């Protein structure tokens, strides 16, 4: 299964979420690959000194689609982190994906700026002639707010892309754990952050299996 995390907007949590999903999946003993297709190489640089038994890291540029296809049979899960702004790389990654996650911060400005990404996502599905499950993921949600219902309505009015039920809150653990090359799950198994990433993994696996 190939999962691409994408959003043309920088800073919405693509790399943080990709690393947490890949590390969490590898920790469950799945053969896991993380393809870092962003030339900033955030994932590679953060994780390269922390080797994990089931996690393989790859770098890609415009060849991201062919690399993922080549690796597909070798791994149970492949997670692709994509760059902001490079339409071409995003397009290539989406085209070979089985699942697309679009991390998004819960603000009207960020939601509106996802338009280009959503347009590309729809265009890719038309071009490849298959439906690719695509979902928004709310990230950096303030744990003390209750605006989720309002945000859900706001998103539904603009886009037909659904929102994952799981969401990631704004927590220091997301930055702190990666300083040690760990996902929030490995960093502190019983933390709130670990629970939300575990729920996200379960939801993604469930949606994929149910289709």
Identity of the residue, 52 or 140, whose beta carbon is nearer to ligand ADP in the bound complex: 140
Pick from 171, 181, 195, 207: which binds ligand ADP (CB under 6 A)? 171
Write down how long the chain is.
Answer: 211
DSSP-derived 3-state class of residue 43: helix
109 touches ligand ADP (CB under 6 A): no
15 touches Mg ion (CB under 5 A): yes
Rounded Cα–Cα distance for residues 118 and 86 (Å)? 14
Q: Phi/psi at 9 (nearest 5 deg)? A: -80, 130
Rounded Cα–Cα distance for residues 184 and 181 (Å)? 10
Are residues 1 and 76 in contact, defined by beta-carbon separation less than 8 angstroms?
yes
> What binding mask, one character per residue, do residues 22-61 give for ligand ADP by CB under 6 A, x or -?
--------------------x-------------------
Please name which of 98, 20, 95, 101 lies closest in space to residue 63, comparing C-alpha atoms.
95
Interface region with Mg ion, contact rule CB under 5 A, candidates 15-23, 27-35, 55-63, 94-102? 15-23
CB 13 → ligand ADP: shortest distance, Å?
Answer: 4
116 touches ligand ADP (CB under 6 A): no
With tokens 């929030």, the residue in question is 184
Can you give the binding site for ligand ADP, defined by CB under 6 A? Answer: 10-16, 42, 139-140, 168, 170-171, 174-175
Summarize as ranges the residues that interact with Mg ion (CB under 5 A): 14-15, 42
């Amino acid at each position: 299964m190939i999962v691409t995390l994408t959003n043309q907007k920088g800073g919405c949590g693509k790399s943080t979420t990709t690393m947490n999903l890949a590390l969490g999946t590898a920790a469950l003993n799945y053969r896991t690959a993380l393809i870092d297709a962003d030339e900033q190489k955030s994932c590679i640089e953060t994780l390269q000194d922390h080797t994990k038994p089931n996690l393989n890291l790859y770098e890609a540029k415009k060849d991201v689609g062919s690399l993922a296809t080549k690796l597909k049979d070798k791994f149970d899960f492949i997670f692709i982190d994509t760059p902001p702004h490079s339409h071409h790389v995003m397009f290539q990654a989406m085209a070979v994906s089985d699942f697309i996650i679009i991390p998004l911060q819960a603000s009207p400005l960020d939601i509106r700026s996802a338009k280009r990404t959503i347009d590309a996502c729809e265009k890719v599905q038309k071009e490849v002639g298959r439906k690719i499950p695509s979902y928004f993921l709310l990230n950096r949600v303030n744990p003390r707010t209750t605006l989720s219902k309002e945000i859900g309505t706001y998103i539904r009015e603009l886009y037909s892309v659904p929102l994952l039920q799981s969401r990631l809150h704004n927590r220091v653990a997301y930055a702190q754990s990666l300083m040690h090359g760990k996902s929030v799950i490995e960093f502190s198994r019983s933390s709130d952050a670990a629970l939300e990433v575990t729920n996200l993994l379960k939801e993604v696996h469930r949606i994929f299996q149910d289709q």
